[in-house]
Amino acid sequence: MTTHHEPATSVLETIGRTPLVEVDSVDGAEIYAKVETFNPGGSVKDRIGKRIIEQLLERGAIPPGGTIVEPTAGNTGIGMAIAAGRHDLEAIFVVPEGFSPEKERLMAALGGEIVHVPGEGGMDGAIERAHEIAEEEEDATVPQQFSTPLNVEAHYRTTGPEILEALDGEIGAIVVGVGSGGTLTGITRAVREHVPDVHVVAVEPAGSTFGTLLGKPRDEKPYKTEGIGTHDPEVTELLEPDELDDFVTITDREAHAEVQRLAAEEGHLVGSSSGAASVAARQVADEITAGDRDPPHDTVVTVFPDGSERYLSKNIYGAFDEWEGKA
């Protein structure tokens, strides 16, 4: 990691050290967002792309010049494509249909090959296909973001410590969206070492079923918010229900409205999972103000995982029914 005062030797050195920005706060509790659009690939997933690829190379799990085959909705693919390219590896990404085309174009521009699987099979279908492809290819490895502890480790070693440093350890609640769970679990483990009583609130779109892991009722239905949520709560091995205090749902409509508010009122060009995280963070801040939650500090931290530019073709700034594809 270099500082911004000296030249970086490669784009990989510019990953991380993203700004932590105060979001328009609720009286009585401050909200800060880690704005991950500042990474070179435009998302939080550059962090895991770098860490996973470099560690697997160092451990000999990927041979020099080998191939990685990864199931991804896009951002992990972009992050891994950057790292794979810099380390002279081939990359194949298995993507369920229906995710944003911009992310696929970026993966391809970075040298990745895209393989589609039907959207109905979700991420499980992509994981299965990635393993089949890796069997057929020579020297191929599936890093598998949903199972590798290196995903959590990337956040435990970078995102979490950066937040701790920026706030001098004064963190009351962590409110983060869950796809693989790597971001939430890694940040939580780093912060709990300094603030054992920090409140940890996971966020998913309404219609997703991760909350059943905490015994919460969930109504399974399709949702548009991209990058978080699941219809198979067992899809990831990186989420420990015991480490969570709460699991909240945010509707597509709430997330979409917040994406537009964040742009119009605060100058943040962020994607729908950031909108969902922001709504949830504001709810937690309101609960702290109302005295319904009593964390060790009146400070809520969230993450804005990616930017809105990769969702323009999906009408993220259109009316709600245009974004939903119903107009």
* Residues annotated as part of the active site: 45, 273
List residues bridging with 67 in a β-sheet.
90, 140
Convert 284-293 to b/e letters by CB count within 10 Å (16 or more is b): bbbbbeeeeb
* Distance of closest approach, residue 129 Cβ to ligand PMP, in angstroms: 17
DSSP SS3 for 23:
strand
Segment lying near ligand PMP (by CB under 6 A), choices 7-15, 175-183, 210-218, 254-262: 175-183
* Distance of closest approach, residue 45 Cβ to ligand PMP, in angstroms: 6
Q: Indicate which single residue of 143, 306, 314, 316 sits in contact with ligand PMP (rule: CB under 6 A).
A: 306
Nearer Cβ to ligand PMP, position 278 or 297? 278
Nearer Cβ to ligand PMP, position 67 or 274? 274
Residue 9 DSSP class: S
Nearer Cβ to ligand PMP, position 190 or 288? 190
CA atoms within 13 A on the CB side of 73: 24
Which residues contact residue 280 at a Cβ distance below 8 angstroms, ignoring those fewer than 6 apart? 175, 177, 201, 203, 248, 250, 302
Q: Which amino acid, 169? A: G
When asked if residue 177 is in the footprint of ligand PMP (CB under 6 A), the reply is: yes
The beta-strand segments (E) located in the chain are 20-26, 29-35, 67-71, 90-96, 113-117, 140-141, 173-177, 199-205, 246-250, 299-304
* Distance of closest approach, residue 182 Cβ to ligand PMP, in angstroms: 4
For 105, the token pair is 């174009």
Q: Indicate which single residue of 73, 175, 235, 259 sits in contact with ligand PMP (rule: CB under 6 A).
A: 73
Can you tell me the distance from the alpha carbon of 3 to that of 7, in angstroms, rounded to the nearest whole number? 8
When asked if residue 305 is in the footprint of ligand PMP (CB under 6 A), the reply is: yes
* Distance of closest approach, residue 277 Cβ to ligand PMP, in angstroms: 8
DSSP SS3 for 188:
helix
Nearer Cβ to ligand PMP, position 129 or 155? 155
Q: Binding pattern to ligand PMP, positions 179-198, x when CB under 6 A? A: xxxxxx--------------
Q: Indicate which single residue of 75, 100, 158, 278 sits in contact with ligand PMP (rule: CB under 6 A).
A: 75
Can you tell me the distance from the alpha carbon of 316 to that of 323, in angstroms, rounded to the nearest whole number? 6
CA atoms within 13 A on the CB side of 52: 30
When asked if residue 295 is in the footprint of ligand PMP (CB under 6 A), the reply is: no
Segment lying near ligand PMP (by CB under 6 A), choices 18-26, 177-185, 242-250, 283-291: 177-185
Q: Indicate which single residue of 41, 42, 96, 271 sits in contact with ligand PMP (rule: CB under 6 A).
A: 271
Segment lying near ligand PMP (by CB under 6 A), choices 52-60, 94-102, 126-134, 220-228: 220-228
Q: Binding pattern to ligand PMP, positions 125-154, x when CB under 6 A? A: ------------------------------
* Distance of closest approach, residue 275 Cβ to ligand PMP, in angstroms: 10
For 291, the token pair is 């005295």
Which residues contact residue 66 at a Cβ distance below 8 angstroms, ignoring those fewer than 6 apart? 89, 90, 139, 140, 141
List residues bridging with 199 in a β-sheet.
173
CA atoms within 13 A on the CB side of 242: 1
The residues that touch ligand PMP, with contacts defined as CB under 6 A, are 43, 45, 73, 75, 177-184, 226-228, 271, 273, 305-306
